């Protein structure tokens, strides 16, 4: 038997899908995880999601869908975490190709379902921004989730929409999400995190990192992203809720508008019209800005001194934890140095490592 899990926003949702599969279905089934190759600028300096033409070594899974094996490689300058994810885990990673809009992804889904005859199909979103209307002031990245939601709603197969870690993506406040969540399906525990524990040591996803941390019992306030957004690490953090798929589509204005789109450009145009922006435009602007910045080298003494100042300021804001992405950007380091920074901090101050988050101290330990 095969279970199909669609990672609504790609990236960390694909990692969370592996944790979900182990928690709900155990080891008796294998999962096919359909996901975007969209790792944002921290990993991939090229704005927007990658398509099959941006990789070498993909395997044909169906006429419309390519699998990403461990041997696949992104073609420079693009980057992707998917090959490493595939190499470390026993599941099939299938690539969403967004170039042909919702119509193309709907066709991919239909092709995959016909090929696999899956025992179940879950559409998984970490955080809950898939439930956004589109005009919320805190919403930052609605596009990928809206596309997968629109495609799943057009497939003639039973698909269950699951929201894990409500509020942990920093897009919609937990208080706004509570009334939209359906039945509790599962509450992740530390044991559920074990299948992805090695992945969390290197994967950059902030939302899934916080999901895993809350499952391990971490509580407090985590500062994330370049903007330093505070996110509560609360008891609702490790929960998974079912949400009615049709109700989600009714609420999500962008998903409804893009049902018949045949290109990613069309999807972006609707996003600009409905949400006031396209997140790919944001990436384009940031990528152009980053090109003009002078890279800062990783000097341990300087970095630890800067970290002290950052922690003191974060502590004054009531922050208890942060992500390594946030520290990387706050210290004005190139994203390629994130792993080196992480190793430096963990080796220098191991007591502050609340895996996979960094615990803020008022003074250095």
- Residue 176 burial by Cβ neighbours in a 10 Å radius (0-12, 13-18, 19+): middle
0.85 surpassed by pTM: yes
The pair of structure tokens assigned to 318 is: 């009531």
CB 164 within 8 A of CB 211: yes
pLDDT at 139 over 80: yes
According to the per-residue pLDDT averaged within each range, which of 243-252, 285-294, 297-306, 334-343 is highest? 243-252
pLDDT at 365: 45
- In the predicted model, what is the mean pLDDT of the chain? 94
User: What are 16's two structure tokens?
Assistant: 């969370």
Model pLDDT for residues 207-245, shown as the tens digit of each residue: 999 999 999 999 999 999 888 899 999 999 999 999 999
Q: What is residue 336's predicted lDDT score, i.e. its pLDDT?
A: 82
The domain segmentation of the chain, as residue ranges, is 2-257, 300-359
What is the per-residue pLDDT across 267-303, written as a single tens digit (0 to 9) for each? Answer: 999 999 999 999 999 999 999 988 887 777 899 999 9
At 36-68, the pLDDT tens digits run 999 988 789 999 999 999 999 999 999 999 999
Closest CA to 17 of 2, 1, 4, 36: 4
Residue 156, pLDDT score? 95
| Sheet containing 353-354: order of strands | 229-233, 220-224, 321-322, 357-359, 353-354
At 363 the pLDDT is 59
Q: What is the pLDDT of residue 364?
A: 45
* Lowest-pLDDT choice from 16-30, 80-94, 289-303: 289-303
Mean pLDDT of 108-133: 97
């Amino acid at each position: 038997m095969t279970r199909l899990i669609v990672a609504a926003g790609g990236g960390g949702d694909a990692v969370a899908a592996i944790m979900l599969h182990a928690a709900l279905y155990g080891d008796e089934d294998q999962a096919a995880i359909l996901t975007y190759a969209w790792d944002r600028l921290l990993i991939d300096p090229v704005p927007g999601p990658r398509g099959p033409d941006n990789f070498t070594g993909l395997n044909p899974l169906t006429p419309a869908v390519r699998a990403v094996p461990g041997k696949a490689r992104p073609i420079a300058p693009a980057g992707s975490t998917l090959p490493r994810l595939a190499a470390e885990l026993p599941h099939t990673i299938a690539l969403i190709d967004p170039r042909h809009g919702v119509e193309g992804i709907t066709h991919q889904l239909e092709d995959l379902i016909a090929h696999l005859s899956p025992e179940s199909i879950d559409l998984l979103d970490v955080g809950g921004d898939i439930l956004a209307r589109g005009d919320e002031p805190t919403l930052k990245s609605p596009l990928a989730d809206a596309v997968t939601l629109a495609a799943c709603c057009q497939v003639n197969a039973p698909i269950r929409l699951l929201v894990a870690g409500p509020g942990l993506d920093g897009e919609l406040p937990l208080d706004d999400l509570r009334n939209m969540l359906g039945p509790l399906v599962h509450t992740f525990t530390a044991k559920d995190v074990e299948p992805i524990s090695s992945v969390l040591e290197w994967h950059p996803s902030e939302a899934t990192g916080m999901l895993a941390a809350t499952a391990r019992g971490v509580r407090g306030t985590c500062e994330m992203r370049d903007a330093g957004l505070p996110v509560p690490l609360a008891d609702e953090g490790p929960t998974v809720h079912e949400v009615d798929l049709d109700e989600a589509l009714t609420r999500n204005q962008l998903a409804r508008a893009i049902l018949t789109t045949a290109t990613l450009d069309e999807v972006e145009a609707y996003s600009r019209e409905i949400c006031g922006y396209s997140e790919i435009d944001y990436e384009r602007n940031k990528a152009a800005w980053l090109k003009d910045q002078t890279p800062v080298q990783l000097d341990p003494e300087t970095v630890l001194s800067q970290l002290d100042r950052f922690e003191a300021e974060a502590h004054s804001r009531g922050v208890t934890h942060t992500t390594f992405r946030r520290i990387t950007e706050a210290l004005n380091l190139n994203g390629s140095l994130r792993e080196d920074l992480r190793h430096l901090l963990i080796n220098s101050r191991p007591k502050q490592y609340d895996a996979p988050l960094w615990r803020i101290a008022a003074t250095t330990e």
